[in-house]
Amino acid sequence: MAKRGKKKPRKIKFYQKNLKIPESQNKKLRQFCTSNHLTENKVFRRALREFLQRNVHLMEHVHHEVNPNQLMLFDFLNEDTVSTGT
């Protein structure tokens, strides 16, 4: 039996976002980055990830309504005669 090759890794989509900050915040950000040996992108990603994890409970969950006729296929209780197929 031949060995299977490794699975191809799933491609990750990235999105580019623009952000404008004042000069004073930019100075503080650069100082923070140099003192902690980080890049600005890493600081933004960490801050965004932390924020989203803390506030995930505030996001509204969308519940799609099911058409009432969709479940009639499995509704055996309302039928008067049930055929057994014999």
Q: What is the pLDDT of residues 2-19, one digit of tens each?
A: 677 788 888 989 899 898
> Cα–Cα distance between 36 and 29 in angstroms, integer?
11
Whether this model's pTM surpasses 0.75: no
Predicted confidence (pLDDT) at residue 85 exceeds the cutoff of 60: no
Count Cβ atoms below 10 Å from residue 11 Cβ, excluding itself.
6
For residues 40 and 29, the answer to whether their CB atoms sit within 8 Å is yes
For the chain, where are the alpha helices, taking DSSP H only? 23-36, 40-54
Residue 21 is predicted with a pLDDT of 94
